[in-house]
A = this chain, B = another copy of it.
Amino acid sequence: MPKPTFFRLPDERRDRLVEEAILEFAERTYAEASLSQIAQRSRIPKGSFYQYFEDKLDLYRWLLTDEVPRRKRAFVGDVGRDRDFWTRLEDTIERGMAFLVEHPRLARLSAAAADPTAIIEVRGLHKAICEAGIEELRSLLEQGVASGAFEAPDLDVATRLVATIIGPGLTDVVLRELGAELHEVLASDSLRKRLGPKRRRVLAHQAVLFIRHGLGG
User: When the two chains form their complex, are residues B183 and A152 in contact, meaning their CB atoms are under 8 A apart?
Assistant: no
Which of B127, B172, B211, B214 lies in contact with A164, CB distance below 8 A? B172
Which residues of chain A (24-73) have a CB below 8 Å from chain B? 27-29, 31-32
User: When the two chains form their complex, are residues A213 and B213 in contact, meaning their CB atoms are under 8 A apart?
Assistant: yes
User: When the two chains form their complex, are residues B173 and A157 in contact, meaning their CB atoms are under 8 A apart?
Assistant: yes
CB of A54, distance to nearest CB on chain B (Å) = 22
Which residues of chain A (93-140) have a CB below 8 Å from chain B? 112, 114-119, 123, 127
Judged by a CB distance under 8 angstroms, whether A197 is at the interface is: no
Which residue of chain B has the shortest Cβ distance to A123 in the bound complex? B183
User: A210: which B residues are within 8 A, CB to CB?
Assistant: 157-158, 161, 214
* Complex Cα spacing A29 to B118, Å: 7
Residues of A in contact with B, size category: 35 or more
Judged by a CB distance under 8 angstroms, whether A78 is at the interface is: no
User: When the two chains form their complex, are residues A169 and B173 in contact, meaning their CB atoms are under 8 A apart?
Assistant: no
Judged by a CB distance under 8 angstroms, whether A182 is at the interface is: yes
Which of B156, B206, B216 lies in contact with A157, CB distance below 8 A? B206
CB of A127, distance to nearest CB on chain B (Å) = 8
Judged by a CB distance under 8 angstroms, whether A21 is at the interface is: no
User: When the two chains form their complex, are residues A173 and B150 in contact, meaning their CB atoms are under 8 A apart?
Assistant: no
Most buried by B among A114, A117, A118: A118
Judged by a CB distance under 8 angstroms, whether A10 is at the interface is: no
User: When the two chains form their complex, are residues A118 and B165 in contact, meaning their CB atoms are under 8 A apart?
Assistant: no
Which residue of chain B has the shortest Cβ distance to A114 in the bound complex? B168
User: A123: which B residues are within 8 A, CB to CB?
Assistant: 181, 183
User: A173: which B residues are within 8 A, CB to CB?
Assistant: 157, 160-161
Which residue of chain B has the shortest Cβ distance to A203 in the bound complex? B157
- Ordered by A's residue number, 11 sampled pairs between the chains whose C-beta atoms are within 8 Å are A29-B29, A115-B116, A123-B183, A157-B206, A160-B169, A160-B172, A160-B173, A161-B165, A161-B169, A168-B168, A216-B217
**A residues engaging B (CB < 8 A)?**
27-29, 31-32, 112, 114-119, 123, 127, 141, 144, 149-150, 152-154, 156-158, 160-165, 168-169, 172-173, 176, 181-183, 203, 206-207, 209-217
